Amino acid sequence: MNPTYTLLIVDDEKQNRTLLTELLKDEYHLILAKNGIQALDRAIEHRPDLILLDVLMPEMDGHAVIQSLKNDDRTKEIPVIFVSALDSTESEERGLELGAVDYISKPFSPSIVRARVRNHIQSVHQRRLLEQLALLDGLTEIPNHRRFSQVYAQEWRRCRRSASPLSLIVVDVDHFKMYNDSNGHAAGDIVLRQVAQTLKAAVKRSGDFVARYGGEEFVILLPDIDQNGAEALAEQVRAEIESLCIPHVDSPVSPWVTISLGGVTQIPPESQDEPELFCIADAALYQAKRQGRNRVIWSIPTEPCIKPVVS
Ligand SMILES: [Mg+2]
């Protein structure tokens, strides 16, 4: 039913591992561990969606295992169900206090094990859906500002480590307010969706990233490409939007909807912890607007960045 979900079963007794395997193997991908140390190693290696954890084990018991899991960023979000022969309220309380999501007493009933596992996997599934939705822009269905901030920070650090260039392009729809005023917001929304889809289709390498920054502003992140490559892509995107031939009768720039783009390419300096490219690319965008819009301007990241006021 959920072959995409992985369960880690931890029990020192082979008989219990076999029993749980028989119960759950048709619905989930299973990984087994026979002691605490193995459990921690496999949890880090496989990042299971749920852990069934025996309490009584020699050397490292279930309580010690869950404490280690909760202290590690890589495993702390994984839900844990305790499976225990210690049938006491006190033991159950202790387990839940340590962060377990549920507690099953041994000897267990097969149908209860299946039902509880299914419920918790369902919660995992719903939480992931919500997380994904929270990172998408509702109108254009591409990643939103929040997702951009995450990816941008990751890519900045990654490119800094590998001393590779990172390019950022800020994209703005020319005279969009005018378009909305003449055609209505519903028509404006359609333009934003078309622009989003065109940007997304143009940026094809894995690692390239497009998001809606807000309003009629979009961002493109291009790791591991030199300035010439990034500028060529920006120019290609500009031409593609113009060639959609979406009428914009009030625009002083073109009969069609057009975009202005400001970009910057930099190998993130060792000394700099926080990415600063947005401000520099935004200054280039401002220049593109001042020079008549429907064009690409590239900045050189030398001067300290002062955010321009864009009318
Ligand atoms: Mg045991």
Is there a domain that residue 311 lies in? no
pLDDT tens for 109-147 read 999 999 999 999 999 999 988 888 899 999 999 999 999
Say if residue 191 is in the same domain as residue 88: no
CA of 85 to the centre of ligand 1 (A): 8
Say if residue 158 is in the same domain as residue 230: yes
CA of 13 to the centre of ligand 1 (A): 6
The domain boundary, picked from 82, 99, 134, lies at: 134
The domain boundary, picked from 134, 163, 180, lies at: 134
Is there a domain that residue 308 lies in? no
- Say if residues 266 and 306 touch (Cβ distance below 8 Å): no
What is the tally of structural domains in the chain? 2
**Which residues are placed with Cβ below 5 angstroms of ligand 1, an ion?**
12, 54, 56-57
Say if residue 270 is in the same domain as residue 155: yes
Say if residue 117 is in the same domain as residue 157: no
Is there a domain that residue 171 lies in? yes
Is there a domain that residue 200 lies in? yes
Is there a domain that residue 304 lies in? no
Say if residue 113 is in the same domain as residue 162: no
Is there a domain that residue 139 lies in? no
We report the CATH number of the domain holding residue 52 as 3.40.50.2300
DSSP 148-188: HHHHHHHHHHHHHHHT--EEEEEEEETTHHHHHHHH-HHHH
Q: Encode the chain (311 residues) as per-residue pLDDT tens digits.
A: 445 899 999 999 999 999 999 999 999 999 999 999 999 999 999 999 999 999 999 999 999 999 999 999 999 999 999 998 876 778 888 888 999 999 998 888 999 999 999 999 999 999 988 888 899 999 999 999 999 999 999 999 999 999 999 999 999 999 999 999 999 999 999 999 999 999 999 998 888 999 999 999 999 999 999 999 999 999 999 999 999 999 999 999 999 999 999 999 999 998 887 788 999 999 999 999 999 999 999 998 765 555 555 54
Is there a domain that residue 117 lies in? yes
Say if residue 66 is in the same domain as residue 179: no
The catalytically annotated residue of 216, 217, 231, 242 is 216
CA of 35 to the centre of ligand 1 (A): 9
Say if residue 90 is in the same domain as residue 183: no
Nearest by Cα to 38 from 9, 18, 14, 15: 9
Say if residue 75 is in the same domain as residue 25: yes
CA of 11 to the centre of ligand 1 (A): 6
CA of 14 to the centre of ligand 1 (A): 9
Say if residue 151 is in the same domain as residue 273: yes
CA of 180 to the centre of ligand 1 (A): 67
Is there a domain that residue 310 lies in? no
Annotated catalytic, 216?
yes
CA of 34 to the centre of ligand 1 (A): 9
| Structural domain range at position 129 | 6-134
The verdict on whether omega for the bond into residue 107 sits within 30 degrees of 0, i.e. cis, is: yes
**What token pair was written down for 168?**
């950022």
In sequence order, what are the residues at sequence separation of 6 or more whose Cβ sits closer than 8 angstroms to the Cβ of residue 242? 254, 256, 257, 258, 294
Say if residue 279 is in the same domain as residue 230: yes
